[in-house]
Structures are given as structure tokens and as C-alpha cells.
Amino acid sequence: MFDELDVALLKTLRDHPRAGQLEVSRLTGVARATVQARIHKLESAGIVTGYGPDVDLRAAGYTVQAFVTLEIAQGALDAVQGELEGHPSVVEAFATTGTGDVLCRMAARSQEELQQALLDINRSPNIARSMSVVILSTVVETRSLPLLEAHARAGGRAPAYRRAHRAPGGRRAADDREA
């Protein structure tokens, strides 16, 4: 589905957020028209869904985060969805297999605020039980590129002379280092 170039472009975009296509083109050593085409392809395939500003909740004052496992009443998923959606503290939520039914992540500015939010949610008649674990620290920062990179189609379509121009040891990997 992907090849190295796609991943290289995504990486470059991530590391140089302000970079436009021209900048990306220069950084990756690919023609601007190619950059435009590839990115457009990724966007229309729905793989790149946007470039929304990445908000650091911790920096924004929401230093307390927790994962909460909810056990909900039979068939009440829709109702619960509405409730969770209505609660700003809920940052994301998923239906899962296992003993719990819904796993959601919450954020708050203090322990007290988190507790209050948990109480709010538990008040719902659709929630049978809840179990929460507080996040102490981040072990692996959220990332998706390594995954794509791991399965990237190695074959590039870059014309031969392109590669020739580059330093033998350099290659595209150079993009990351200068970040």
C-alpha cells in the first residue's frame, strides 16, 4: 500500500510542520509535482485525514490523565456513547472485548477534577461498574509512522539518476536526522 517515498513524505511533514510542498520537495529531494501527487493520493485514500493542530494536553494544564474501563448495561452502548461524548473530560473511548465493555481515556487538571468527572460518569444508570488506572508517565509517545515504515514497499520508482546524485551512504534516511 505504501512505499518508502510515502513514509518519507509523512515523516518530513511531521518533522517540519510548517513546511509547504516546496520545502518538502527540497528536504526529500523529490520533485514538487511528485510531492503534490503523492500527498494528494494519501489524502484522497483517507489515510491522511488532516493536519489538525496537535494539542499537548499536559502543556495545556491537563496533567492528570487516566484510562477508565467501563462495564455497561446490556445494549446501552448508544446511550453511553452519547453520555461520554457529552463529557468534555473524555478524550477518547473505544468498545472492547474483555470483561470491560468500554475503555476510555480521560484528562483533567487535577486529581479532584478527575475524581469529579469519574463520579459524573458513574452516576449514569447505564454504567454498571468502572475501573480506572491513572497514567503516571509516557513510555512510548504516540506514533504511527514506524508502523507504516515497517511494512513500506521497498521498491522506489525513483529514476536511476536520482540515486546517483546522492551520496552513497546518504539516501532518504537523511530527512529524519536534520529534524
List contacts with DNA (CB under 7 A). 5, 18, 20-23, 30-34, 36-38, 155, 157-162
Least gap, CB of 171 to a copy of itself (angstroms): 18
Checking 165-172 for CB contacts under 8 A at 24+ apart, the result is: 165/29, 166/29, 172/4, 172/5, 172/8, 172/28, 172/29
Mask for 98-127, x = binds a copy of itself (CB under 8 A): x-x-xxx--x-x------------------
* Cα within 13 Å of Cα(149), Cβ side: 12
Rule CB under 8 A: say whether 46 interacts with a copy of itself: yes
Answer with the entry of a copy of itself, DNA, none that 114 interacts with (C-beta below 5 to 8 A by kind): none
Residue from 25, 99, 108, 103 nearest 64 by CA? 108
141 to 160: interface string for a copy of itself, x by CB under 8 A: xxxxxxxxxxx---------
User: Which span (29-37, 43-51, 153-161, 169-177) binds a copy of itself, by CB under 8 A?
Assistant: 43-51
Closest CA to 115 of 137, 89, 136: 89
